[in-house]
Amino acid sequence: MPANPSVPEAAVSRLAAYLRILNGLASSGADHVSSADIGSLVGVSPDQVRKDLSHFGEFGRPGVGYDLKDLRDELARIMRLDRVQVAVLAGAGSLGSALVRYGGFAQHGFRIAAVFDIDPSRVGARLGNCTVEHLSRLPDRVAELGAAIGIIAVPGSAGQSVAALMEEAGIKAILNFAPVKVKVNNSVKVRSVDLGRELECLAYYLPE
């Protein structure tokens, strides 16, 4: 079931949310959940939950619901979150540093195994468990570490060239925080988060 392109991207995002809920519920004793339970905790309709799951198979029993642990394991497998994913980070500025310190990633099974920057004054600095390395080391290190995920936290002007470097190094998925649209071969998946733009959009909704 590897990355079926017919599954809406929004559905993939919701599946990640369901998985979190199930992980939370797993520690709290219950052993079955319904699509209504999941939906109300995540904020979507039960129909939506069932439709999202139906892209991948039949996991529930009519009249009963879903076995909590089974469904959790299935979702983790579908989302490739049943193993540790190794990521590398380009950019050790304020955003990059925050991402390394942000515990959330490790907690979700991601390991930021190397950090790179092009600024010599940052190279050699300690950041979390990593020592900042020069960007030119990225290809070698990606190969050594077997990293499949790249995180771009560099200024917009450097975004495209870093993306190209990652692609060349064999990175398969990129989380891009640089405020530019990066172009890569379409075997590489890119998701972009533009913090400035998020705020700009909010301003639109302000009254007068």
Beta carbon of residue 30, minimum distance to DNA (angstroms, whole number): 12
Radius of gyration in angstroms for the set of CA atoms belonging to the chain, rounded to a whole number: 19
- Looking at residue 61, the DSSP 8-state letter turns out to be E
Q: List the interface residues with DNA, window 3-42 (CB under 7 A).
A: 6, 8-11, 34-36
Distance (Å, rounded) from C-alpha 180 to C-alpha 156?
Answer: 6
Of the candidate residues 46, 119, 179, 184, the single one contacting its own copies (CB under 8 A):
179
> How many CB atoms are closer than 10 A to CB 162?
24
Choose among its own copies, DNA, none what residue 92 binds, the Cβ cut-off being 5 to 8 Å by kind.
Answer: none
Of the candidate residues 38, 78, 152, 165, the single one contacting its own copies (CB under 8 A):
78
Distance (Å, rounded) from C-alpha 36 to C-alpha 41?
Answer: 9
Smallest CA-to-CA distance from 105 within 87, 93, 92 is with 87
Choose among DNA, its own copies, none what residue 154 binds, the Cβ cut-off being 5 to 8 Å by kind.
Answer: none
With respect to its own copies, which residue has the nearer C-beta, 61 or 172? 172
Our measurement of the distance from residue 179's CA atom to the centroid of its chain's CA atoms, rounded to an integer in Å, reads 18
Of the candidate residues 26, 36, 42, 123, the single one contacting its own copies (CB under 8 A):
42
Taken in order 72, 75, 79, 80, the sign of the CA dihedral is: positive
Q: Which residues bind its own copies (CB under 8 A)?
A: 2-3, 9, 12-13, 15-17, 19-20, 42-43, 78-81, 85, 87, 94-95, 97-99, 101-102, 104-105, 107-108, 110, 148-149, 151, 172-175, 179, 181, 189, 191, 193, 195-208
